[in-house]
Amino acid sequence: MKNLFQNIAFIIILLVTFSCNNDFLTENQSLLSYESSIVVSPDWESNDYTIFQQGFGNAKFTVSKAPEWLKISSSSGQFSNSYAILNCKANAYSDFSEIGLYYTYLTLSVEGKGDLDIPVVYINEGNPVISANNSLKINYNDLLYGNFQFKIKNTGYGILFWTVIQHPEWLKLYNRNEWTSDNEVGGIIAPNETDVFNLTYNTDIAFTEYLPGKIIIASNDKNKPFIEVEVEIDFGNSY
């Protein structure tokens, strides 16, 4: 599940246009960058987070300011080629009892460089529930020309994070968000909302009459962290 949390962090940081109520990320979310942010939840285990700052070289640092609910394994360390690692975990915080994403900072005092503020996002996930079809038989023409959409719904009361971790090589997958690529398909879904990703045929793969396969979706649904979707192309008269 550790890789799932890392993918979730990546998704949150990239979805800078995501908006919900005031419990979610504020308009300052556009300041987030993938290699300089920490995304945590009290439901997650401790994790290593990469911090990058151009030009910091091999400077030493200390953590001079951090949220009271953030547990950091070491209060000091060193950048290596402008990269540093912080191992962090969130403790439950009563002020963040409502479901949502909460935004703050921690500060590193860096030798010879000054202070560096690192964005931190605290997630109260709640109890999301993922709902999606477990099988697909897609008409080839729809797949080739229509960018067939696969729908995922959050039927629980919580924030659903999802990411595709496996799919057949003859499929190409894309989020409806422009920032994503075939290797970074995922999203955030508020309660009772639906998200989609697009499926197209990978024309680099030779045609065949029978192309079974499966898409595996990982999510933070506590009772169903993985969904397997059986996928098949119906070529009809196209082959």
CATH number of the domain to which 68 belongs: 2.60.40.10
Q: Is residue 57 part of a domain?
A: yes
Q: Are residues 115 and 139 in the same domain?
A: no
Give pLDDT, residue 187: 83
Based on its alpha-carbon atoms, the radius of gyration of the chain, rounded to whole angstroms, reads 20
Provide the pLDDT for residue 22: 35
The answer to whether position 239 is within a domain reads no
Domain final position from 104, 124, 144: 124
The pLDDT, as a whole number, for residue 230 is 94
**Nearest in space to 3 (alpha carbons), one of 218, 229, 235:** 218
Final residue of a structural domain among 80, 103, 124: 124
Q: Write out the chain in H/E/C secondary structure.
A: CHHHHHHHHHHHHHCCCCCCCCCCCCHHHHHCCCCECEEECCCCCCEEEEEECCCCCCCEEEEEECCCCEEECCCEEECECCEEEEEEEECCCHHHCCCEEEEEEEEEEECCCEEEEEEEEEEECEECCEECCCEEEEEHHHHHHCCEEEEEEECCEECEEEEEEECCCCEEEEECCCCCCCCCCEEEECCCCEEEEEEEECCCCCCCCCCCEEEEEEECCCCCCEEEEEEEEECCCCC
Per-10-residue mean pLDDT of the chain, 239 residues long, equals 53 44 36 61 88 93 96 95 94 92 91 92 92 88 75 93 87 66 72 88 74 88 92 72
Q: Could you tell me the pTM of the whole model?
A: 0.74
Q: Which structural domain range is residue 230 located in?
A: 127-234
Q: Residue 229 has what pLDDT?
A: 95
Quote the pLDDT of residue 238: 56
Tokens 């990978």: give the residue: 202
